[in-house]
Every structure is written in structure tokens, then in C-alpha cells.
Amino acid sequence: MKIKKAEFLISNTELKKCPPADKPEYAFIGRSNVGKSSLINMLTGRKNLAKISGKPGKTRLINHFAINDNWYLVDLPGYGYAKISETEKNKWSKFIHSYITERENLACLFVLVDSRLSPQKIDLEFITKLGIAEIPFVIVFTKSDKLSKSGLSKNISKYKAELSKSWEIIPGNFISSSITGYGKEELLDFIEKTNSIVNK
């Protein structure tokens, strides 16, 4: 799929202020600094569409982008960011939770995990919760450019082995690099296919 148009629409913390739920929507979630905003820029081919930072905790709101006028990408704040107050943390987790569980047009949630790390408890627990709540999701292993081919496949096998302890069928998964563009076509194809199913 070609991205002909990508525009920022609105940022907020309230579900009712999000754009009308009239198009399929794909949201990006994962630990702070995992590369959510970078992946949105990589997929859309727009360097500064979503705001990026080397410091965790950059994205603090629900950010909607309209793509090709017929689907939405959503950049969400990260979880597991230690340097914010408890009050702020609770606020984030509340609006993220209501977004994930109540947004009617959420076609798929992309759960980003850092391909360099061994399976992290916080990600595994989050994935388990999605399963229980029956939220459609796939996993994206990010920053693959930072590993050798063998290091990457070793880490991903480890991750899959961990997932297979609680999942009969391993959730859909992709590998990405926002530096090299690896995974772009595969992810956009997946979105295109999902759009056609949702729009039927």
C-alpha cells in the first residue's frame, strides 16, 4: 500500500474527543522509548509526523493521524516510564485503558517490544491482559538494526518460547527497524488486508 497522505488530526486524553470512529484504526503501544512514534514516521515516510525523543516519556497524549483519508494511525504514550508522578501514571493508564477497551474502530493494536531485550514481565503482562480482554493485537519487535541477524533470531525465538507458555497459537508478529525501514512493506500489507476485512 502506498501512503499518499498522512496528516495529524488531534491530540487529547479523552475518548469522546477522538475523531469520529468511522474508519479502521491502528494504535501503537509499548514501553516508553521502544520506538512507537519512530515507527509511525517510518511507515508514513514522514520524518516529523509523530514527535520523537531519545528520552523516554515523549508522547503523553492520544495522537490521531489520518492516512490516505481512509484509516487512522494512533500514537500512544508508553507504559513503564518511571520518571513521572504516581498521579500522572494513574491518569495515563486510565485514559489508555479506556481508549484500548472502548474505541469501537480499533482494528488492531500494535504492541511494540524491544528486540534487544529478553522477554520483559511488563510486556508479557500487558499482552496477557489484551488476550483476556479480547483486544485484537500483533507484536512488533523494534530496533532490529541494533542486533546481528543471529542475535535477532535468537531473541525472537526466546520471546516466542515464552509466549507459547500461555498462548496455544503465538500472536501475529513482525520485525521492524525505523532506521533501515525493515518491516515497512509487511506492516503496511497487514494494515491493507485488515482494512479490507473491516470495511466489508
Residue ranges that bind ligand GTP, judged by CB under 6 A: 32-38, 52-54, 56-59, 77-78, 142-143, 145-146, 177-179
With binding defined as CB under 5 A, does residue 58 bind Mg ion? yes
User: To the nearest whole angstrom, how small is the minimum distance from the Cβ of residue 56 to ligand GTP?
Assistant: 5
User: To the nearest whole angstrom, how small is the minimum distance from the Cβ of residue 150 to Mg ion?
Assistant: 30
- 123 or 163: CB nearest Mg ion: 123
Cα–Cα distances in Å, from 120 out to 8, 114, 124, 137?
32, 9, 6, 18
Pick one of ligand GTP, Mg ion, none as the site partner of residue 191 (Cβ within 5 to 8 A by kind). none
Handedness of CA 92, 95, 97, 99 (dihedral sign): negative
Q: What is the CA radius of gyration of the chain?
A: 16
**How far apart (Å, rounded) are the C-alpha atoms in residues 101 and 42?**
27
Using alpha carbons, select from 144, 137, 143 the residue that is nearest to residue 170: 137
With binding defined as CB under 5 A, does residue 59 bind Mg ion? yes
Paired residues of 7 in beta bridges: 66
Residue number, nearest CB to Mg ion: 59
With binding defined as CB under 5 A, does residue 64 bind Mg ion? no
- 36 or 64: CB nearest Mg ion: 36
Question: Footprint of Mg ion on this chain (CB under 5 A)?
Answer: 36-37, 58-59
